[in-house]
Amino acid sequence: MARILDGNKIRDEIKNELRPRVERLVRPPGLAVVLVGNNPASEIYVRGKTKTSAELGIYSETITPPATISTEELIALVQQLNARDEIDGILVQLPLPDHIDSQKVLLTVSPEKDVDGFHPCNVGNLATGRPGPRSCTPAGIIEILKRSQIPISGQRAVVVGRSDIVGKPMALLLLHENATVTICHSKTRDLPRVCHEADILVAAIGRPGMITRDFIKPGATVIDVGITRVEGKAVGDVNAADASELSSAYTPVPGGVGPLTIAMLMMNTVAAAERKCSPPA
């Protein structure tokens, strides 16, 4: 029987490590979340971020402009947050309404306050192995693997999905841990065969249940990033029954990767505050 990798347990470990770091600071870290309009899924995510901030002693502020806000108005709002010393991290909740130029807005966030790790400066830091905030979901997956004592170095890793938020940074983080990495996508030929070679298989494609037994090498570690609502139930990209039967370890949906995304956001926020206001040694 495969081992279930409990994201909630690992999230709690990280939160316990962050509390004393917050207490050592001369003021609470500050996180501003910009939530445009009324997207129910986004509202749930933001509530989770606000709740976790409060548990850790992080000051959290949610700004909720209407869905009719223009790109220029939203950029001006972000610039105001950039200028506020007590705000260490800025998160613009995606997706934004269709009429807003998301790229322009995200580029406005100061790289030092980009706790999502989306700014090109921070993506460049990741690509070149320099310090800086990392995209939260991929960084959380690395924490899951390391804290579960799953070897990465020398392993064959396959990432299914090439998004800027998960797929690409995931591949880079695995490379930095000395895995041999393949990125797959909609044009990959014979996808099941490529996935079947993976010691570590990361599914981030947003297609519920697509990764079945034909994709899973016996004994592999399977990381399921996808989460889709199907008939009111949260379903991952991986067929859970097949992962349970064939893998050595896998992340469930829900309760696997999801809890780590918010934990890593908190870690990025605390680290940003530490860079600005740690007391002298």
Catalytic member of 88, 93, 168, 242: 93
Active-site annotation holder among 88, 114, 116, 224: 116
Distance between CA atoms of 108 and 104, rounded to whole angstroms? 6
The yes-or-no answer on residue 12 being catalytic is: no
Instruction: Indicate the SS3 state at residue 264.
Output: helix
Strands (E), 134-220: 156-160, 180-184, 200-203
Angle separating helix axes 136-147 and 7-24, nearest 10 degrees: 110
Q: Judge whether 164 counts as a catalytic residue.
A: no
Active site residue 93: yes
- The CA distance from 146 to 14, in Å, is 13
Q: What do you get for the CA distance between the two ends of the chain, in Å?
A: 49
Which SS3 state, helix, strand or coil, does residue 103 take? helix
List residues with catalytic annotation. 49, 93, 116
